Structure 1
Amino acid sequence: MKILTIVGPTAVGKTDIAVAIGARVSGEIISADSRQIYRHLTIGTAKPTLKQQRKVRFHLIDFVEPGEDYSCGQFARDAEQRIENIQDRNRTPIVCGGTGLYIKALFHPLDELPKSNRKTKEHLQAMIDKHGLGYLYDKLQRVDPTWAKRITPQDKQRIMRGLEVYKITGKPLSRLIGKKEKVARFLPYYIGLNLPRKMLYDKINRRFDNMIEQGLVGEVDSLLAHGFDPRSNALRTIGYKEIVEHLQGALTLDKAIDKAKRRTRNFAKRQITWFNNIPGLTWHNPDDPVLVDSIIRRSGI
């Protein structure tokens, strides 16, 4: 049986639909979200609420420290183990998330890339400390322009990974991940969720306003007070990066909020483009009152 996989842009309502389905089919949800993996980052990552977690068990959230790295390959291995375990207990695995690279690594696996090299990473970090992240991004554009186009100039982890792979192998990462795929252990049954652009953007804006009301500024302030590096991958993600800039005096709160909303809207646009390239994916409106019944019936779970 294929694995029900719910994807779509941020804030569209993927978790709500996954929980509604999971509660009906003895399901457990494997989160495919590269920000919800981090401990202590709760409000700004829109993690499942305690109420949702009481209804359905979630996997691969809250298990990586903000200063640690976690690769797509690691996600794929962890997700495969969770899927197998869930099926062994005669329950239904549901993959849900918007991180396209995680989804790709799980269902369209590639040959193993070289393992991370500590000395190379330390050298790259020293270059960031001296010249800034933009310097490394410019370097990446020269050695692997294809990979550079796929990521943003703020994506420190993937910029470093692209340069690290090039340093180790002498080949662009984009060329290596374009090689013939291995056979996946599991196959997906894709369901894409989306809304008309204005409705989605309004939802994104309202959600960030709610995050501020729920205490996002305090959450970020607490992370910094506990010594977490503002340059870490976790704190450079959308929403956290802007609040860090506000707390450091670089932005007023209003400007930080506006910037975070704009970056989130742009991110949603990129997610839609990514998932549009998946063969066989069908888009659905999450507000459709019969959607849950329809997905259960059509997927056969």
Structure 2
Amino acid sequence: MLKSNIKTLIVIVGPTAIGKTALAIDIAKHYKTEIVSADSRQFFKEMEIGTAKPNAVELAAAKHHFINSHSVTQLFSTGDFEVEALKVIENIFEKHDQAVMVGGSGLYVNAVVNGLDEMPEIDLKIRAALNKQFDDEGLEIIQNQLKQHDPEYYEKVDQNNPQRMIRGLEVFLSTRKKLSSMLSSTKKQRPFNIIKIGLNTDRAKLYQSINLRVDKMMENGLLEEVKSLINYRRDNALNTVGYSELFDYLDEQVPLDVAVASIKQNTRRFAKRQLTWFRRDEDIKWFEPGKPESVINMIDQELKKP
């Protein structure tokens, strides 16, 4: 139940390529407010094409926060985002009754909505050993260990992200407790209402949309973007879908068509994990994409409740 006379954060979630950006802009324009991006890849100003950021027209349609806000050379954790995003939302609420948060990064959305639990002390020797193992032997061995020790966390997060994989494994090896069991066991009370909206559609339609988006990214120069970032390839931000596959191509490990097919496959897998994460939240109200009027009508009804 919404509390009357306080501000409302409208949260839009769902898998990649489903149309979250367009809906967020429609809602922000309707309520004359601003958008907070909770997409962990769109923070980085060097990564443009492969992260499907809002284009210039979309950015001009509504004020966005956390788009191009950081460099790939900067570490920007989920905890950092929780602190900074809450400050931005507070500032938006000084001017508007509603704010919009949009993104498919479940951990980052969760950090703002529910807060993060205090994380345990980590044995730095274990962290160093895992980082060396990753450098020497690659990501797969880290993935396999995490999948064995904490399959729930493994399924929730980007499996191509070494920082996420190492984080989950170092927590288990340091504490013998699963990181998945520590996430949001107690929710923090926020001083604003929260309305959660999810977008989803038929899986075949979603997968077709993903495939078309990847083709469009390639047409728009994704390969050239990846080439321009080769000196940053060891930075954590670039160990992600759409970039790591093309680095493999540039290393002559795979042909270009195989690399592109891998981007599509890994993006489809990522979308499936996103949906698994968000479907656990019973407070999310689900809609088909492309129906902003229905979503806004629902929000209006929620806002009118005493």
> Normalised by the size of structure 1, how large is the TM-score?
0.89
Distance, in Å, in 1 between the alignment partners of 2:108 and 2:193 is 14
- Rate the CA distance shift 1:289–1:156 in 2: closer, same or farther, 3 A: closer
* 1:62 paired residue number: 68
Contact 1:20 1:292 in 2 (8 A): no
User: 2-side partners of 1:271 and 1:81: how far apart?
Assistant: 26
Using the aligned pairs only, state the percent identity.
Answer: 38
Unaligned 5+ segments in structure 1 are: none
Opposite residue 198 of structure 2, the aligned amino acid is: G
- 2:15 is equivalent to residue 12 of structure 1: no
Give the counterpart letter for 1:271 in structure 2.
Q
Between the aligned partners of 2:264 and 2:67, the Cα distance in structure 1 is 23
Stretch moving more, 29-38 or 179-188: 179-188
1:228 corresponds, among 210, 228, 232, to 232
Matched, 1:201 2:204: no
Secondary structure (helix, strand or coil) at the match of 1:300 reads helix
> For residues 83-232 of structure 1, what are the structure 2 equivalents within 5 Å?
83-90=89-96, 92-114=98-120, 121-151=127-157, 153-166=159-172, 168-169=174-175, 171-177=177-183, 179-224=185-230, 227-229=231-233, 231-232=234-235
Deviates more, 1:175-184 or 1:154-163: 175-184
Counterpart position of 1:243: 246
| Structure 1 pair 289–92 and aligned structure 2 pair: CA distance change class (3 A) | closer
Compared CA separation, residues 91 and 183, structure 1 to 2 (3 A):
closer
5+ long unaligned stretches in structure 2: 1-6
Q: Equivalents in 1 of 2:122, 2:57: separation in Å?
A: 38
Query: For 1:9-61, what per-residue CA distance to the aligned partner results, in whole angstroms no more than 9, with x for missing partners?
Result: 11011101111121221111000111111121010101011111111111112
- Which segments of structure 1 move beyond 6 Å, counting only runs of 4 or more? 115-119
Distance 1:265 1:185 in 2: 36
TM-score for both structures, normalised by structure 2 = 0.88
**Cα-to-partner distance string for 1:175-200 (whole Å, 9 max, x where unaligned):** 33263333334442011111222211
Name the structure 1 match of 2:87: 81
Which amino acid in the other structure matches residue 273 of structure 1? T
Shift of residue 163 of structure 1? 3.0
Change (3 A) 1:115 1:40: farther
Q: Which amino acid aligns with 2:261?
A: D
Q: Which amino acid aligns with 2:60?
A: R
1:44-85 Cα offsets, whole Å, 9 max, x none, are 101011111111111112122223332222211111111101
Quick one: which of 263, 266, 279 aligns to 1:263?
266
Q: Is the 8 A contact 2:37 2:66 kept in 1?
A: yes
Superposition deviation, residue 214 in structure 1: 0.6
The count of corresponding residues between Structure 1 and Structure 2 is 298
Deviation at 1:141, TM superposition (A): 4.1
| Structure 1 residue 137, shift from structure 2 partner | 2.9
Instruction: Specify the SS of the correspondent of 1:239.
Output: coil
Q: Distance in 1 between matches of 2:232 and 2:88?
A: 29
Residue of structure 2 in register with 1:254 after alignment: 257
Matched, 1:26 2:29: no
Distance 1:100 1:152, change over 3 A: closer
Letter in 2 for 1:175: S
Letter in 2 for 1:238: V
Contact kept in structure 2, 1:134 and 1:153, CA below 8 Å: no
Q: Is the 8 A contact 1:111 1:182 kept in 2?
A: no
| Conserved 8 A contact 2:23-2:292 | no
